[in-house]
Structure 1
Amino acid sequence: MNVRRFTTFLLLACAGLAGCVTQPVPMYRLDNGNVEMPAQAEDGAAVLLGPVKLADYLQHDALLQRLPDGSLAADDQQARWAGNLQGDVNQLLLRQLASRLKTQSLELSPGSKGFDPDIRIELEITRLDSGPQHPAVLEAQWRLLDGQGKRQSSRLVRLQEEHQGSTTDQVRAQSRLLQRLSEMMASAVKPIMVAKTRTGRSVSKAPSKPEAPPAIPAVEPIRTDLEVFRF
């Protein structure tokens, strides 16, 4: 009887352990989109991206969902960001800007030693989320500064992207929002880059050829072999 009870206990314990086996946690990363990296170029204005600040509620590994009442909660499947969301956002924006501005002279703040930026982009993202019944929404502000730290322009933006409801599609929608944001920032940076290029601050121009001195007309000798007739 004791043996039978012990056997039954083992079977129940094994069944309980089998039922407690956890499913793999889904992990997600942002999509950088189709970006074409420009060839290395020495000319052109140098751009520094950062600091890029994320809202406090985004400083977690859990992928949060916007609920119908507007509150935020962890995903039902306990979905998480693969790696660091801050790093993913930084790399997405860096590659998008490099592609849209067609420059390799672009670094993340604080920049490498000796990197002297002409333009700095400061960015603060205060919202980046979505939900099964809520579109993906991005709210941010950027500021453009010149090499001396003087503000050139700033802008507040709110972008929205629809999706199909699944977590995978929500992440795609959030990625598209960041790509749209980089497009808007690139459009704001381009006029400043053109102005910097025209000043010749970063562009090395080929030395112009010295102008040839003006041609001096040849002096014709005065004819002295003419005969003089007297009457």
Structure 2
Amino acid sequence: MIRFLWMTILIGLFAGCGGSAPARFYTLMPANDPVAARGTLSDSAKIIVVGPVTIPAALDQPQLVVTKGEHEVEVLEQHRWAAPLKDEITSALAARLSRLVGDATVTAYAQSTSLDPNVRILIDISRFELRPKDRAVFEALWTIKMNDETAVRRGHTNVAIPAANSSYVGLATAQSRALDALAQDLAAALRTR
């Protein structure tokens, strides 16, 4: 009887070691992120700060959140963002804009504490849905403000990007491409202000 009890305990321990799959981490940063330039900024340098960015509370999770139906979402425990989603979005947009707006220094809101920006871009994301085996749906309102806090331009970006494949990597890539569309809208607005 004691031998059977020990065997049961050992089997339970070994079964627990085989556990769950390791977590996978995703980022929205562009693959060809530019290297930051070194040097000092003059007082007349154009500085653009992206953020703050707001997202729906249901999406503000370390895990990927996918839409399962009209009123159902699933939080994917084994599929996580490499950083908090708001930070991922803000940094990814700043990186994209720095490529599109060549005459300015572009930085993310959380990284700009020592800078006095000429322009601030506020973004309110209302939808950033992942639809498995389908697409990413993105919708945001944005405002470009000058350093005197006057709103120069307001806009709305609404896109649905098909996933390249049925994997979660494909969905994260579709979300990243949605940020490309937002960055292009912002760059166009900055050029025409």
Residue 27 of structure 1 aligns to a residue in which SS? strand
Identity of aligned residues (%): 22
For the pair 1:8 / 2:4, whether they are aligned, the reply is: yes
**Gaps spanning 5+ residues in structure 2: where?**
none
For the pair 1:122 / 2:122, whether they are aligned, the reply is: yes
Q: Counterparts of 1:187 and 1:44 in 2: how far apart (Å)? A: 20
**Gaps spanning 5+ residues in structure 1: where?**
193-231
Counterpart contact for 1:39–1:104, Cα < 8 Å: no
Structure 1 residue 33 displacement after superposition: 3.3
Residue 178 of structure 1 aligns with an amino acid whose one-letter code is L
Residue 78 of structure 2 aligns to a residue in which SS? coil
Give the RMSD, CA atoms, in angstroms.
Answer: 2.3
Matches within 5 A, 1:82-231: 82-109=82-109, 111-113=112-114, 115-163=115-163, 164-192=165-193
Residue 34 of structure 2 aligns to a residue in which SS? coil
Counterpart contact for 2:45–2:104, Cα < 8 Å: no
Counterpart contact for 2:51–2:109, Cα < 8 Å: yes
What's the TM-score once normalised by structure 1's chain length? 0.71
Alignment: residue pair count: 186
> What CA deviation, in whole Å up to 9, does each residue of 1:154-181 have, x standing for no partner?
1122111111221111111111111221
Q: Counterparts of 2:58 and 2:168 in 1: how far apart (Å)? A: 18
Structure 1 residue 70 displacement after superposition: 4.7
Counterpart contact for 1:47–1:119, Cα < 8 Å: yes
Q: Counterparts of 2:168 and 2:159 in 1: how far apart (Å)? A: 19
Q: Counterparts of 1:53 and 1:94 in 2: how far apart (Å)? A: 15
Question: If each structure's strand is expressed as a fraction of its own residues, which one has the higher value?
Answer: 2
What's the TM-score once normalised by structure 2's chain length? 0.83
